[in-house]
Structure 1
Amino acid sequence: MKTLEEQLEALISLAISDYANDIHIQCNDPIVSIAFRGLHGLKAINCISLTPQFIEYCKFKANCDSSIYSIPQTGRFEMLIDNKLILIRFSIIETFHAKSVALRILNGVSISNFARLTHDNQAIVQLNELSEITAGLILFSGATGSGKTTTMLTFLKNLKNKRIYTLEDPIEQLHSQFMQLQINEHRGLTYSNGLAHLLRHDPDVIVLGEIRSEQEAKVAISAAYTGHLVCCSVHASSAFLTLGRMLDLQASTYDLLAIVRAVVYQQLVVDVQTKSRSAIYDILDQEQVKTLLLSA
């Protein structure tokens, strides 16, 4: 049997080679099941065996408290895989009968073009055209797990000669070409003062990882009014309801008319032949956004 460190290294290496961002581990002692989530969806992994002690080892590496079982915990650790430093976020939920672990590889999988996300050539053209927008708000929306953050980051990586700063809670994927700030309200770094700090650094593009609250919506709107390009992700079930979600978060119709330049809504569908998933998009330009808002 491999050592715990060897088990972890083999697991992370396999996930990276399989283009997976997330590793899910379920332990119902003594049974440990593994699944990867990536571009092809969630799939069970049976070629690696982990011992029940493996989870406690991960808690140790992530600097979590091994004596606590009643509340969820989150931590981070790093590993050297094939001479590359891999950063991993660790999250655990424990009950009396079971343990659930999620490992997020923050910098293992790189997607640099839209052709790897979708087979829709018209959508690829539209997404590339969005790079001509230099000011205002672009909203990337979809359901949980639809890949909206991946689409947004791919869009940002294709921008040329831009200073890109992000405010995220938490940071979903690490990218060396962005300046990424982790929100930490306990230490005084909020979305509001984080925006104030990064505006002093002359950004071309400001990114809010996800809009979940009225405060975050307010910060996104304020940032867009500064004349910068602002990109955000939002949970919504259609392109039209993306605007409705912003209204629910107390954004005014006036503000949305003034600053929203595009809405990129996406869903993931399964290709029957390849058994892989790809994105289908519904993209609204500024005129379509205005028409929907004025007719609502």
Structure 2
Amino acid sequence: MNNISSSSIDNKAVIFLQENNLLQENNTPEQLNKIYESLDEQLENSNLSIDDVLLLDFLDIEDFYKFVSKEKDIKIYNLAKLDLHLHIDHQIDTHFLESKLVVPIREDSLSIEIATYNPYDKDIVYELMKRLGKNVILSIIPKEQLQRYIHEIVINRDLEDIIQNIKIDLNALNKIDFKEESNTVKMLELILEKGLQNRASDIHLEYDNEAKKALVRFRIDGILHERFEFEEEIYMALSSTLKLFANIDFVNNTKAQDGRFSHDLSGVKYDFRISVIPLFNGESISVRILQTNNILVQLDELGLSKKSYEILDKVSKYPHGLILVTGPTGSGKTTTLYSTLSTINDSQKKIITVEDPVEYQLAKIQQIQVKIRSDINFSSILKSILRHDPDIIMIGEVRDKESLKIAVESALTGHLVFTTLHTNDAISSIIRLKEMGVEDYLIANSLLAVHSQRLVRRLCQKCIVEHEPNKQMINDIKKYLPKDYKFFYSEGCNECSMTGFVGRSIICETVFINDELSSALTRSMDYETLKKVAIKNGFVSMIEDGISKALSGETSLNEVFKVVYV
């Protein structure tokens, strides 16, 4: 058995075990069983509290609960694997659920099954029998799972109360109340907070005119999940409040509109970007959650492959040249660019960015918001910023030949230029430059590196297990595999809401344009030729990086195959 940590010294359970000489350095199964029996007896007699026992840092809680389950003949559940859409929790008031940490599991005409983390609390049984007039059967669910689920119950109940109050307000006032403490604002705050708690990157509100219903969905780790459904009048109140917050026209539903706003939630200020588009049969609102702490990380914290990090770190310190970051929409290009700029930003450099839109405000960096339908567009602003003596220029996206021409010329005339392209991989990005009208010799003389990336979902480490992918997958990547290999997937647990994933990781490839590759660019723009030269000079492809992360258990091979062609 492990040594007792200093934080556990005053724990009553520790004191009891020490006084009875039950703590050993290493315990046999028989000795462990004796400890469990002793703790069970003390808990049954109320000499110890269940919380004291759960704080024992050497105790396998799952193993102890199995012992209790066998001794008391009660069931243990994993809450994430239960279907609890029975709404029987409405029979118990919120205060009791929160204070006692209990959840109704199932019921019939004579009895109700209640899950608790503390099967020794006799008051729970007596109180619920009195309240419900039924026989109460206890079962066990771990404390953290109960806390999360009861928090969900509280949010849903609060939401139901707010919706009823909004309806009352609408009937009484015959208009939407936009005051800071109004029910509509409270509802919006609750949805935004829920999105933050769920690690959502975007919140989608979609209204269907025919169904007279609105759906709220959260994008979590790149996947959309349904969260709430509202009636028409509630959606109208909510959408109008959102538009008012973002300072856009909340009366006109016939045109696309963009805006942004900041709002305090639980004492923390968050930024949100909103986009509204009219649909044939309704309206769609997308809210992007802009969390600065997720984006303003240093380059070495992004999780890039060793090779890609070394190249980007090296070329970002060059005095001039062109650096491309490529990938499809939603592949994390903006995060990589911002992290690179944050890493090289200091008082000796003047950095100007041209973006559409500006997603995050960066300290000591001059950021320009491009407006496509105005005089401030990419090409016109690029011509102007060169007269402002910048050292480094970041162009959010090269969209036309004129912008690309200015970017290349800037790289050749003493500026370090970062920009993005929507291409499949690093090598094809070089060919894309030529297709957009840049001469071979200009590409060879200006281009420093091309970085291409994708995002894959990260496996939950709480429920990860070994996994054998299908034979076709293995055959497709056989040449990249070591002699002995293992792949993984996650089964799903309460920690990951049964999805098997928590967060996302980058898989990437980066081409460094050294003298040999630069010379090859002036002779040939053939994809296979360029790739052979790059591999000869140490190029590691995106599929190889993805396989490496799958072998390490960071992601699954299936996730890699979703975003990279072999």
Looking at structure 2, the residues matched to 99 and 115 of structure 1 have their Cα atoms a distance apart, in angstroms, of: 41
Bigger Cα displacement from structure 2, 208-217 vs 284-293? 284-293
Q: Which amino acid aligns with 2:390?
A: P
Contact 2:201 2:218 in 1 (8 A): no
Conserved in 1, the CA contact under 8 Å of 2:328 and 2:423? yes
**How do 1:101-250 and structure 2 match up within 5 A?**
101-106=285-290, 108-111=292-295, 112-114=297-299, 116-118=301-303, 120-161=305-346, 162-184=349-371, 186-250=373-437
**Greater relative CO (CA pairs within 8 A, separation 6+):** 1
Deviations 1:96-126 (A, max 9, x none): 4332111123454433034553363333333
Do the aligned partners of 1:69 and 1:95 also contact (CA within 8 Å) in 2?
no
- Within the candidate set 274, 290, 302, 1:90 is matched to 274
Deviation at 1:147, TM superposition (A): 1.0
- The answer (yes or no) to whether the contact 2:213–2:229 under 8 Å persists in 1 is no
After TM superposition, list the pairs within 5 Å mapping 1:8-47 onto structure 2. Answer: 8-28=188-208, 29-37=212-220, 40-44=221-225, 46=227
Aligned-pair distance for 1:32? Answer: 1.8
Give the distance between the partners of 1:91 and 1:58, measured in 2 at CA. 10
In the alignment, residue 335 of structure 2 is paired with which amino acid? T
Quick check: 1:267 aligned with 2:267? no
CA distance in 2, matches of 1:207, 1:15: 31
Measured in 2, the distance between the counterparts of 1:222 and 1:196 equals 11
Query: How far does residue 178 in structure 1 lie from its aligned partner after superposition?
Result: 1.9
What is residue 295 of structure 1 aligned with on the other side?
Answer: 524
SS in 2 for 1:110: helix
- Report if the CA contact (8 A) 1:106-1:174 is conserved: no
* Amino acid across the alignment from 2:358: I
Structure 2: which 5+ residue stretches go unaligned?
Answer: 1-160, 163-182, 459-488, 491-499, 526-566
Q: SS of 1:172's equivalent?
A: coil
The verdict on how the C-alpha distance between 1:250 and 1:236 changes in structure 2, with shifts beyond 3 A counting, is same
Q: 1:115-173 CA distances to partner (integer Å, 9 max, x unpaired)?
A: 55336333333332233222110000011211112111111111142321101122233
TM norm structure 2: 0.47
Which AA in structure 2 matches 1:41?
A: G
Q: Taking every aligned residue pair, what percent have the same amino acid on both sides? A: 29
Q: Is contact 1:78–1:87 with CA below 8 Å preserved after alignment?
A: yes
Secondary structure at the aligned position of 1:52 is classed as helix
Does structure 1 retain, via aligned residues, the 8 Å contact 2:243–2:250? yes
In 2, the alpha carbon distance for the partners of 1:107 and 1:203 equals 28
Structure 1 residues 96 and 134: CA distance shift in structure 2, 3 A: same
Q: 2:239 is matched with which residue: 55, 70, 77?
A: 55
Amino acid at match of 1:42: I
Residue identity in the other structure for 2:274: F
Match of 1:285 among 509, 512, 524: 512
CA distance in 2, matches of 1:14, 1:128: 37
Partner of 2:26: none
Normalised by the length of structure 1, the TM-score is: 0.86
Q: In structure 2, how many angstroms separate the alpha carbons of the residues matched to 1:165 and 1:201?
A: 9
Other structure's SS at 1:140 match: strand
For 1:295 and 1:117, locate their aligned partners in 2 and report how far apart those are by CA, in whole Å: 34
Indicate the structure with greater helix content. Answer: 2
* Bigger Cα displacement from structure 2, 149-158 vs 280-289: 280-289
- CA 1:289 to 1:65, structure 2 compared with 1: closer, same or farther past 3 Å? farther
Equivalent residues of 1:105, 1:173 under 8 A apart? no
Between the aligned partners of 1:131 and 1:17, the Cα distance in structure 2 is 35
Q: Which runs of 4+ in 1 moved over 6 A?
A: 47-50
RMSD: 2.7
Q: State the secondary structure of the residue aligned to 1:32.
A: strand
Q: Give deviations 1:40-67, integer Å, cap 9, x for gaps.
A: 2234253797931212221233233334
Where 2:191 maps in the other structure, the secondary structure is helix
Unaligned runs of 5+ in 1: none
Q: Deviations over 1:13-33 (max 9, x none)?
A: 444455544322223332322
Q: Which amino acid aligns with 1:102?
A: S
> Hey, what does 1:5 align to over in structure 2?
185
Structure 2: how far apart are the matches of 1:134 and 1:11? 46
| Corresponding residue SS for 1:134 | coil
Point out the more displaced range, 134-143 or 65-74. Answer: 65-74
Shift, 1:187, TM fit: 4.7
Structure 1 residue 185: Cα displacement: 5.4
Q: Aligned-pair distance for 1:251?
A: 1.7
Paired amino acid for 2:512: D
Q: Distance in 2 between matches of 1:49 and 1:164?
A: 46
Which amino acid in the other structure matches residue 278 of structure 1? S
Q: Distance in 1 between matches of 2:357 and 2:381?
A: 14
C-alpha contact (below 8 Å) 2:206/2:284 kept by paired residues: yes
Q: 2:262 aligns with which of 65, 78, 92?
A: 78
Q: Indicate conservation of the 8 Å contact 1:169/1:209, yes or no.
A: yes
| Segment drifting more, 255-264 vs 110-119 | 110-119
Match for residue 441 of structure 2 among 254, 263, 281: 254
- Contact 1:171–1:180 at 8 Å: present in 2 too? yes
